[in-house]
A and B are shown apart, each in its own frame.
Chain A
Amino acid sequence: AQTVTQSQPEMSVQEAETVTLSCTYDTSESNYYLFWYKQPPSRQMILVIRQEAYKQQNATENRFSVNFQKAAKSFSLKISDSQLGDTAMYFCAFRITTSGSRLTFGEGTQLTVNP
């Protein structure tokens, strides 16, 4: 079974600064996807970024980037130039590449961006 762990229940950052959210996972599989989702107060779940395990290059999406360390089973999210609208719950998620597999989430990290 796969597990995803987010060890930081809450974090805060000042506007315009950089913050890193941590995620570790456990699996015996070699082919999988990793995701970060954002859930703002509206409760809508929004995909932030995706990483394929077979790719060595870290994914980036504008101000969002990941540090994917496959051997360490670590997948952290870096948010640069934090904005007030980044305030949300952030979830790390895992899915093996077998067609039709389950999507497993971590516990979430509540990020607050302060003005």
Chain B
Amino acid sequence: DAGVIQSPRHEVTEMGQEVTLRCKPISGHNSLFWYRQTMMRGLELLIYFNNNVPIDDSGMPEDRFSAKMPNASFSTLKIQPSEPRDSAVYFCASSHRRINTEAFFGQGTRLTVV
């Protein structure tokens, strides 16, 4: 298996623009997590899905952030409009719900908003 695949690896955008981050979980995994990592706040859980359904989005910072999981093999995290304080590394992770042990992480997307 190729592991969790995120795209793009790096994104530089101007303030006010829409940004879409993409994630393909490991085949057969049905829990998917979006995390944000910054120096100041560490690893924050933004939202997670079970069987494509959002379970807990309490970590989503504000209405500018939205996440979808239209099917078991794809998820997006969208920021509209983006702001400089959104600059961070965004990680997607997946795990097998039944086995329910560790999560496997993608390589992250480094987002820079200028």
Which of A's residues lie within 8 Å of B, judged by CB? 33, 35, 42-45, 47, 50, 91, 95, 97-108
A-B contacts, 21 listed (Cβ < 8 Å) = A35-B102, A42-B107, A43-B107, A45-B93, A45-B105, A47-B102, A47-B104, A95-B100, A98-B100, A99-B98, A99-B100, A100-B31, A100-B50, A100-B55, A100-B97, A100-B100, A102-B48, A103-B33, A103-B45, A103-B93, A103-B102
Inter-chain residue pair count (beta carbon < 8 A): 56
Question: How far in angstroms is the closest Cβ of chain B from A38?
Answer: 11
- Is the contact region of chain A dominated by helix, strand, or loop, or is it mixed? loop
Give every chain B residue within 8 A of A91 (Cβ-Cβ): 43
CB-defined contacts of A47 to chain B, threshold 8 Å:
102, 104
Known contacts A45-B93, A103-B33, A105-B45, then 6 further A-B pairs from the complex at CB < 8 Å, ordered by chain A residue: A33-B101, A100-B100, A101-B100, A102-B48, A102-B55, A103-B45
The docked-state distance in angstroms from the alpha carbon of A35 to that of B103 is 10
User: How big is the B interface, by class?
Assistant: 20 to 34
Interface residues of B in 61-114 (CB under 8 A from A): 89, 91, 93, 95, 97-98, 100-105, 107-108, 110
Chain B residues with CB under 8 Å of chain A are: 30-31, 33, 35, 42-43, 45, 48, 50-51, 55-56, 89, 91, 93, 95, 97-98, 100-105, 107-108, 110
